[in-house]
Structure 1
Amino acid sequence: MFATRPAPPRHATGDTTRAALIDAATEVFIEEGFKAARVQDIAQRAAVRLSAINYHFGSKEGLYLAVLQHHAQASLAHAPLLHGDPHAPLRERFDFFVRSLLTRLIDPRTPSRIARLGVRELTSPTAALDVMFVQFSLPQTMLALQLIREILGPRAPEAALHQGAISVVGQCLAYRVGQPVIERLQPGLYDQPDVVARLGRQIADFSWAGLQAMAQAHATTTPPHAVQKNR
């Protein structure tokens, strides 16, 4: 079962073993996926006894969930989605959001491997997806929807907010999921030191124009509740 469990008592040796297992499991889960990954291979790569997995994580499922949580937390810390100044201009905060999302997905300097782990999980979902959705994806989605709401205005229906957010996130995600093909179309793109800034500007400019068009359309649309009142 993919359920959180209390961690065993903390001590220096235990912390080292736990970290070694998370590091080793990260690589194995990325290479093999959860279902094909073998705990024996993870223990061997971490240079620890197999029993250490059960002691620290309870099971293979517990280890996998701990790996996802570890990298999700690292991603949140390294590239928060919200601008540090909530009073900054809306366009500046939107650009920051896009750039942070791209940083999480394609920046080789990020300490988190959640992008590659996440792609694995999305293409072959496990029960951990529900846990990660509640703990990480949903709160992050709510932040994105708040930003999109500011752009589209109060008349925009909930469906439009979701469509706008999915469009922006989807463009960023395409550069992670489609990297093997994109590298063949544009060799060396991902090796450029300013790749996140360049792609961030491109996606932000494109998305901003589309969102502004949506905002204008909703600004001239009579809200459904007003139509019902007039009937």
Structure 2
Amino acid sequence: MRVKSQVEADRRPLSNNCFKQSFDLLSTCMILTLLPPSPPSPMPTPSPSQAAPPPAESNRGDRARERLIDAAMEIFSERNLEGARTREIAAAAEQNVASISYYFGSKEGLYHAVFERIASDLRQTMGAQIKEIEQLHAAHAITRPLAVSLLKRLMRTLYIHVRTKDSQGNGGVGRLIVREQIAPTPAFDIVYERAIRVVHETTAILVAAYLEADPKDPIIIIRTHALLGQLLVFVTARETIRRRLGLPPFGKLPPETEHRVRDTIARILEEQAEAQLVGLAACNFPTIASPDALHRVISPIQQDPT
């Protein structure tokens, strides 16, 4: 009996302690629910050593890639695709020869990258003017005076683009395009589809607007080609005009002389373009109503070459 009483006596303090702990826990929970929520702790700011590394490696790779394209542009223009050596290109770019395979896959891949650069540069230069002309054409808003103004500006921009590339040491652009025109490879598809075709079509829009014809008329396309050919001759036959004018080699002109010569030729190209349009309209030369009728123009020439 004494043992049982002692056990019950020993349990009473334990029960009291458990009750007290439960009460304290309940009170704490009630207090916490009544308190406003505390603001979330700010995210720790990463230290400079924890931050994302700067894109130095990517920039270095981009620079290496661009230097290879620069070097390849000049060497390909001098020796063509078959004659160029990858070791020579890599040495000119101050890169390891393996970098050509790494960035471009092959010498042919590098050659294509050169033409992607040419097309990208031309589209970047001409993009705003091309978009303006296309929008005006879609709105049927190109009058004869506006056609002349837009054509003159387009001719000047095209010529200065090519001439600027020459003065920057990228004279190979013209030689590459001329070689591809004579013996086209898949690389010509790149520059034609991405740049040359849209420039040619846009110029045809202006010629057709002035002559009140269809831009897709074969005669208009041929006249457009003849018009743009005046500009291209300063690329393909630039050594002739340099010697006729008694100038030092291109790329070695003093800056003031370079600017003066460039501006004079650009102005003459503008005048030639306007004179051609005015003269063609005054003579009222016929055009072809449908591209399918091109044989009417070609056939007589084929039958009588003289």
TM-score class, shorter: 0.7 to 0.9
Question: Please, which of 95, 98, 101 is the counterpart of residue 158 of structure 2?
Answer: 101
Larger radius of gyration: 2
Measured in 1, the distance between the counterparts of 2:221 and 2:289 equals: 18
What secondary structure is seen at the aligned counterpart in 2 of 1:33? helix
What secondary structure is seen at the aligned counterpart in 1 of 2:162? helix
* Residue pair 2:130, 2:199 contacting (<8 A) in 1 also: no
User: What residue is the counterpart of 2:81 in the other structure?
Assistant: 34
* Residue pair 1:106, 1:196 contacting (<8 A) in 2 also: no
* Residue pair 1:103, 1:110 contacting (<8 A) in 2 also: no
What secondary structure is seen at the aligned counterpart in 1 of 2:130? coil
Moved more, 159-168 or 132-141: 132-141
* Residue pair 1:22, 1:67 contacting (<8 A) in 2 also: yes
Moved more, 50-59 or 84-93: 84-93
Question: Please, which of 194, 202, 206 is the counterpart of residue 271 of structure 2?
Answer: 202
Measured in 1, the distance between the counterparts of 2:61 and 2:216 equals: 51
* Residue pair 2:162, 2:174 contacting (<8 A) in 1 also: yes
- Which consecutive residues of structure 2, in runs of 5 or more, have no partner in the other structure? 1-56, 251-257, 291-306
* Residue pair 2:178, 2:236 contacting (<8 A) in 1 also: yes
Question: Please, which of 123, 131, 144 is the counterpart of residue 76 of structure 1?
Answer: 123
TM norm structure 2: 0.60
Listed as ranges, the matches of 1:1-231 within 5 Å are 11-80=58-127, 82=130, 86=136, 89-107=146-164, 108=166, 114-154=173-213, 158-188=217-247, 191=258, 192-213=261-282, 216-218=284-286
User: What residue is the counterpart of 2:3 in the other structure?
Assistant: none
Query: How many correspondences in the alignment?
Result: 212
TM norm structure 1: 0.77
* Residue pair 2:211, 2:277 contacting (<8 A) in 1 also: no
One-letter amino acid of the counterpart of residue 264, structure 2: V
- Which consecutive residues of structure 1, in runs of 5 or more, have no partner in the other structure? 1-9, 225-231
1:22-70 per-residue CA deviation (whole Å, 9 max, x = no partner) reads 1111221122222211111001111211111111111111101111111
Q: CA deviation at 1:91?
A: 1.4
What secondary structure is seen at the aligned counterpart in 2 of 1:187? coil
Measured in 1, the distance between the counterparts of 2:195 and 2:206 equals: 17
Measured in 2, the distance between the counterparts of 1:69 and 1:24 equals: 15
Measured in 1, the distance between the counterparts of 2:191 and 2:288 equals: 38
